[in-house]
Copies of this chain bind each other. A is one copy, B any other.
Amino acid sequence: MRNISRAEVKNASLPQLKKMCDELREEIFRTVSACGGHLASNLGAVELTLALHRAFDFPRDKLVFDVGHQCYTHKLLSGRAALFHTLRKEGGISGFPKREESPYDCYGTGHAGTAISAALGLAKARDLKGEEGEIVAVVGDGSFNNGLIYEALNSLKILDTRVLIVLNDNGMSISPTVGGSHEILEEMKGEAIPSEDVRLFERFGLKYMGVYNGNDLEELLPALDAAKEALKSGSVLLHVVTKKGLGYAFSENAPAETHGMSPHAGPRTEYAQALGEELIRLAERDERIVAVTAAMTDSLGLRPFFEKFPARAFDVGICEEHASVLCAAMAAGGMRPYYAVYSTFLQRSFDEIVHDVCGQDLPVTFCVDRAGITGEDGETHQGVFDLSFLAPIPNLTVAIPKDIGEFRAMIRASASFEGPLVIRYPRQGTEGEVLPLEMGTFEVLHSTISDIAVLAAGERCLDLARRLLERAEKAGFSFTLVNARFLKPLDARLLSSLGQRYIVTLEDNALIGGLGDAVARFYRGEGRTVRSFGYADAFIPHGECASLAKKYGLDGEEIFAVLREFHARG
């Protein structure tokens, strides 16, 4: 779309501003239709973001978005309109704020709950350096469930600075927002705002201003001017209500389904669907089965479970730490909890996995979706660290299915497994046979007389390995191919029995700390050469999955060259 200059935003009349909103909304809709991305939240935040650009002077003033998925209007208004058609494409505009991309992106985000802490840090730095400028944090009501937000609010008086927090309340946190804090916010949207709610914010050091219609510029512009004025004497919380998906009827009516949109067409097979089916199957037979999610019921495939077993299904909001402790304690109380979560968000539970679940050796199963390279969301959403940070945790079993059939088998086996278990899998895959499976065992997929064995974990790597095998056989050599479906424990018996001198490992994870290191440690460098392939020691940006995988470490050409070299060495 055309570039809208700062002067234009500052000088426009109200009708002109409304017209800009239409343009912005159209551009967002068009781009997300082509590139995928976050539709509903961006459609809902158009007026709010435009009004912020009118009221403040970015980048001298600083704007921090919580999660950051609602930043499209901000990008369009900060000199990136001409590039916006490259949204989420390799080398193009990121779907999230990113410091390297623009001085207007003062703080990068992707996970929930960081914005108030970030705003406070930027504000404190400003104060200490004697600089000017205001700091604005835009936080959704979903993030207000998150413990990190509360920790930041608790810090406001300690830090003795000033920030403007815009609470963008659309009642959703991918799934509808839930819980006690949500009820307080809902109450505030009633006829009269309860004075104690206002005082609550005051006690934390915030002047409360609200509730305003965040989609109505006539209401919003003077509200922001007033907030800016109030900010001179201390921190302000401005409570605005917006409609997720506004301007696109289907999205308005289905905000969860249109939260994240994929550009891909055609039928896809998702691990998430299998998870829902298998958990229902287990739960029908075993009353101890319960399912927990942190605000992602649909995208993790749990909707059918929630509908069928409402008393045994818990969406606790964007509270990944609490979700893990809750599961640990339910297990201590004799239940069999399944916590489904994206790989990147599992990082929030690291201490709880160590301290609560594995430290007490409790039978909690973590269903870790979106593992490996996830593509278009970029750095903050790649699931490439889980094998590494899980590997050192005692008592934990870590499983990596080769396809959806094996994933089903693992879920079934988990029902009688006594201990903490992680099953990690990508978003999409192929079905496959559901064969009985023993925990901690590898599977030989192709056995041959050769000095080379390839150990590959997960669907992406096994696909790659099969293609390499085909190519090798065309080139006149072969290798033994093993489905290394457990990072932990390794299949010691199988590893010891392998006669091959050259071992090549492939994993859809950072090379540091993953399967390759585990296999190398097993052999201790004695008698075998282990060459491992996984992702480079770098944050992997947005792009197309296969292209990124190749670029960052799983390059078939490079691996084939190593295989050929090993074959030549004999």
Q: Which residue of B lies closest to A387 (CB)?
A: B392
In the complex, the answer to whether A121 meets B394 with C-beta atoms within 8 Å is: no
Task: Say if the beta carbon of A126 comes within 8 Å of chain B.
Answer: yes
Q: Given that A180-B203, A334-B125, A385-B392 are contacting pairs, would A108 and B359 also be in contact in the complex, using a CB cutoff of 8 Å? A: yes
Task: Say if the beta carbon of A191 comes within 8 Å of chain B.
Answer: no
Chain B residues with CB under 8 A of A347 = 350-351, 354-355
Q: Given that A321-B151, A350-B389, A538-B394 are contacting pairs, would A523 and B521 also be in contact in the complex, using a CB cutoff of 8 Å? A: no
In the complex, the answer to whether A512 meets B520 with C-beta atoms within 8 Å is: no
Task: Say if the beta carbon of A250 comes within 8 Å of chain B.
Answer: no
In the complex, the answer to whether A524 meets B513 with C-beta atoms within 8 Å is: no
Complex CA distance for A179 and B120, rounded to whole angstroms: 14
Task: Say if the beta carbon of A419 comes within 8 Å of chain B.
Answer: no
Chain B residues with CB under 8 A of A157 = 179-180, 183
Q: Shortest CB–CB separation between residue A453 and chain B, in angstroms? A: 14
Q: Given that A148-B325, A512-B392 are contacting pairs, would A158 and B179 also be in contact in the complex, using a CB cutoff of 8 Å? A: yes
Complex CA distance for A380 and B129, rounded to whole angstroms: 40
Q: Shortest CB–CB separation between residue A308 and chain B, in angstroms? A: 15
Q: Which residue of B lies closest to A108 (CB)?
A: B360
Task: Say if the beta carbon of A317 comes within 8 Å of chain B.
Answer: yes
Q: Which residue of B lies closest to A111 (CB)?
A: B355
Q: Shortest CB–CB separation between residue A382 and chain B, in angstroms? A: 10
A88-132 to B contact mask, C-beta < 8 Å, 1/0: 000000000001000000111011011001111110111011000
Task: Say if the beta carbon of A409 comes within 8 Å of chain B.
Answer: no
Report which of B321, B329, B391 forms a contact with A147, defined as CB distance below 8 A. Answer: B321
Report which of B147, B155, B328, B388 forms a contact with A326, defined as CB distance below 8 A. Answer: B155
Q: Given that A359-B380, A394-B537 are contacting pairs, would A335 and B517 also be in contact in the complex, using a CB cutoff of 8 Å? A: no
Chain B residues with CB under 8 A of A391 = 388, 512-513
Interface-central residue, A124, A205, A287, by most chain B CB under 10 Å: A124
A124-159 to B contact mask, C-beta < 8 Å, 1/0: 111011000000000000000111111111111111
Q: Which residue of B lies closest to A315 (CB)?
A: B158
Query: Which A residues fall within an 8 A CB radius of B?
Result: 99, 106-108, 110-111, 113-114, 117-122, 124-126, 128-129, 145-159, 178-184, 187, 194-196, 199-200, 203-205, 287-288, 290, 311-312, 314-317, 319, 321-322, 325-335, 347-348, 350-352, 354-356, 358-360, 379-380, 385, 388-389, 391-395, 510-514, 516-518, 520-521, 523-526, 528-532, 537-539
Nearest 7 Cβ contacts at the A-B interface: A147-B147, A121-B329, A125-B333, A196-B196, A151-B322, A388-B392, A117-B325
